[in-house]
């Protein structure tokens, strides 16, 4: 992989959170800095990594891409995404090992093509990240099973014409049917951008959403009342 911007906590110890930000096609790591700064403000002890896409953007003079969109179709998108995902998973595991950050404290935060990569990584590698925040993204193919160890937060602009919001709605419906842990927030009047309203909602989700697996673990640990039909 090419360069990676890093924003590391001042204590230089094991970070309590690792956030990996994945940019859109034709962009670069610097394009994710406004989001990174917002996350750093709210989570100052988190380590933030912003890697550059694997390859040079093949449809313009500048920028990077995770996979090519030249001549892309519904049929050839999945294998392209799968190839990028395999490369990214190797990179992510190495980053987690280097920073001694566990998968449970890792969040993948992607925009557009970066969101596709994040969602498909969570789909193929359940639990490699505890959370995914997918801004203006979609699945390469709607899932046939739901991750059980990863919470998915879908964030979209209602006026997005590049990646229509119907993709997010379809994803949420499918995940709900499959018993996944997912949320969806759609901002009216917002297009295909990392809008401050969506960033604010993402931070709210990170702070307030309790993963279903946490509830289930708590319920499983709670003592059960024994009822024998007598009078109590």
Tokens of 139: 């699945």
Active-site residue among 28, 156, 160, 181? 160
Active-site residue among 23, 156, 167, 192? 192
- Verify whether residue 192 is a known catalytic residue: yes
Q: What CA dihedral angle connects 203, 33, 108 and 101, to 10 degrees? A: -100
Active-site residue among 31, 112, 153, 167? 112
Handedness of CA 216, 153, 91, 89 (dihedral sign): positive
- Verify whether residue 185 is a known catalytic residue: no
Which phi and psi (to 5°) does residue 204 adopt?
-60, -45
What value, to the nearest 5°, has the Cα angle with vertex 228 and ends 226 and 229? 130
Distance CA 61, CA 119 (A): 28
- Verify whether residue 160 is a known catalytic residue: yes
The residues annotated with a catalytic role in the active site are 112, 160, 192
């Amino acid at each position: 992989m090419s360069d990676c911007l890093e924003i590391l906590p001042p204590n230089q110890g094991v970070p309590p959170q690792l956030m990996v930000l994945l940019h859109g096609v034709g962009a670069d790591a610097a394009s994710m800095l406004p989001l990174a700064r917002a996350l750093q403000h709210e989570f100052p002890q988190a380590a933030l990594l912003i890697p550059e896409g694997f390859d040079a953007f093949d449809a313009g003079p500048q920028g990077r891409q995770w996979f090519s969109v030249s001549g892309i179709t519904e049929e050839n998108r999945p294998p392209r995404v799968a190839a990028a995902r395999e490369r990214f998973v190797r990179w992510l595991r190495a980053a987690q090992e280097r920073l001694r950050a566990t998968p449970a404290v890792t969040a993948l935060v992607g925009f557009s093509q970066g969101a596709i990569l994040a969602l498909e990584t969570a789909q193929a590698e359940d639990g490699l990240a505890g959370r995914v925040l997918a801004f203006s993204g979609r699945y390469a193919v709607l899932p046939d099973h739901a991750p059980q160890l990863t919470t998915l937060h879908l964030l979209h602009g209602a006026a997005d014409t590049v990646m229509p919001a119907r993709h997010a709605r379809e994803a949420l419906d499918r995940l709900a049917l499959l018993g996944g842990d997912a949320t969806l927030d759609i901002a009216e009047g917002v297009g295909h951008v990392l809008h401050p309203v969506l960033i604010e909602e993402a931070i709210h989700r990170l702070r307030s959403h309790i993963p279903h697996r946490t509830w289930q673990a708590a319920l499983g640990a709670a003592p059960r009342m024994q009822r024998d039909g007598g009078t109590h």
